[in-house]
Amino acid sequence: MSAGGAEAKEAPKYTKKDFESDQDVRWCPGCGDYAILSAVQKAMPDLGIPKEDIVFVSGIGCSSRFPYYMNTYGFHTIHGRAPAIATGLRLARPDLKVFVVTGDGDGLSIGGNHMLHVLRRNVNVTILLFNNRIYGLTKGQYSPTSELGKVTKSTPVGSADRPVNPLAFALGCGATFVGRTVDRNIPHMEEMLKRAARHRGAAFVEILQNCNVYNDLAWNVMYDKEQKLQYELRLEHGKPLLFGPQDDRRAVIMDGVRPKVVTAKDVPASALWVHDESNVNAAKLLADLFAPDFPVPIGVLAAVAGPVYEEIMLDQEQKAISERGPGDIAKLLTSGDTWRIS
Partner 1 sequence: MSEIAAPAKGKSLKELDRAVVRFAGDSGDGMQLTGEQFTTESAWAGNDIATLPNFPAEIRAPAGTLFGVSSFQLQFGSQRVYTPGDRLDCLVAMNPAALKVHLRDLKPGGLLVVNTAAFDKRNLDKAGYAANPLEESTLAERYRLHKVDMTGLTYEAVKDLPLGTKEKDRTKNFFALGLVSWIYTRPLEPTLEWITKKFVKNPSIAEANTRVLKAGHAYGETAEIFAEHYTVEAAEMAPGLYRAMTGNRALAWGILAAAERSKVPVVYGAYPITPASDILHELALHKRFRVRTIQAEDEIAAITAAIGAAFGGAIGVTGSSGPGIALKGEAIGLAVTAELPLVIFDIQRGGPSTGLPTKTEQADLMQAMYGRNSESPVVVLAPATPGDCFYVAYEAVRIATKYMVPVMVLSDGFLANGSEPWLIPDPQTLPPIEIGFRTEKEGFFPYLRDPATLARPWVRPGTPGLEHRIGGIEKQDVTGNISYDPDNHDHMVRTRAEKVRRVAQEIPPTTINGPATGDLLVVGWGGTYGAITAAVERAQTEGRAVASIHLRYLNPLPPDLGHILREYRKVLVPEINSGQLVRVLRAEYLVDAVGFNRVRGLPLASEEILEAITQLVEGHV
Q: Report the site for partner 1 in 305-324 (rule: CB under 8 A).
A: 313-314, 316-317, 320-321, 324
Q: Report the site for ligand SF4 in 125-154 (rule: CB under 6 A).
A: 132, 136
The answer to whether 341 contacts partner 1 (rule: CB under 8 A) is: yes
Residue 148, amino acid: L
Q: Which does 268 bind (CB under 5 to 8 A by kind): partner 1, ligand SF4, none?
A: none
The answer to whether 257 contacts partner 1 (rule: CB under 8 A) is: no
Cα→Cα distances 253→46, 271, 294, Å: 36, 7, 11
CB atoms within 10 A of CB 246: 6
The answer to whether 111 contacts ligand SF4 (rule: CB under 6 A) is: no
Nearest to 181 by CA among 145, 216, 233: 233
Q: Which does 136 bind (CB under 5 to 8 A by kind): ligand SF4, partner 1, none?
A: ligand SF4
Q: Is 98 helix (H, G, I), strand (E, B) or coil?
A: strand
Shortest Å distance, C-beta 114 to partner 1:
6
135 phi and psi, to 5 degrees? -90, 115
Are β-strands 250-255 and 242-243 bridged in parallel, bridged antiparallel, or unpaired?
antiparallel
Nearest to 96 by CA among 46, 41, 54: 54
Shortest Å distance, C-beta 83 to ligand SF4:
20
Q: Report the site for ligand SF4 in 70-99 (rule: CB under 6 A).
A: none
Q: Which is nearer to ligand SF4, 4 or 111 (CB)?
A: 111
Q: Which does 156 bind (CB under 5 to 8 A by kind): partner 1, ligand SF4, none?
A: none
CB atoms within 10 A of CB 320: 12
How far is Cα 201 from Cα 120, in angstroms, rounded to an integer?
A: 10
Cβ pair 253, 262 in contact under 8 A: yes
Q: Give the binding-site size for ligand SF4 (rule: CB under 6 A).
A: 11
The answer to whether 339 contacts partner 1 (rule: CB under 8 A) is: yes
**Alpha helices of 236-308 — where are they, by DSSP H?**
280-287
Considering only 3, 4, 14, 33, the residue that binds ligand SF4 (CB under 6 A) is 33
Binding characters for partner 1, 103-132, by CB under 8 A (x = yes): ----------xx-xx---------------
Considering only 142, 177, 204, 214, the residue that binds ligand SF4 (CB under 6 A) is 214
Considering only 42, 51, 180, 195, the residue that binds partner 1 (CB under 8 A) is 51
DSSP H or E run through 126: strand 126-131
Considering only 32, 67, 144, 295, the residue that binds partner 1 (CB under 8 A) is 67
CB atoms within 10 A of CB 293: 9
Beta-bridged to residue 298, according to DSSP, are: 234
The 8-class DSSP code of residue 70 comes to B
How far is Cα 286 from Cα 146, in angstroms, rounded to an integer?
A: 20
Shortest Å distance, C-beta 119 to partner 1:
11
Shortest Å distance, C-beta 213 to ligand SF4:
4
The answer to whether 49 contacts ligand SF4 (rule: CB under 6 A) is: no
The answer to whether 211 contacts ligand SF4 (rule: CB under 6 A) is: yes
How far is Cα 9 from Cα 108, in angstroms, rounded to an integer?
A: 35
Cα→Cα distances 305→6, 38, 79, 95, 279, Å: 20, 29, 30, 19, 11
The answer to whether 112 contacts ligand SF4 (rule: CB under 6 A) is: no
Could you list the residues that contact partner 1 (CB under 8 A)?
21, 23, 50-53, 55, 57, 60, 67-68, 70-78, 81, 84-93, 95-96, 113-114, 116-117, 313-314, 316-317, 320-321, 324-330, 332-334, 336-342
- Name the site residues for ligand SF4 (rule: CB under 6 A): 27-28, 31, 33, 62, 132, 136, 211-214
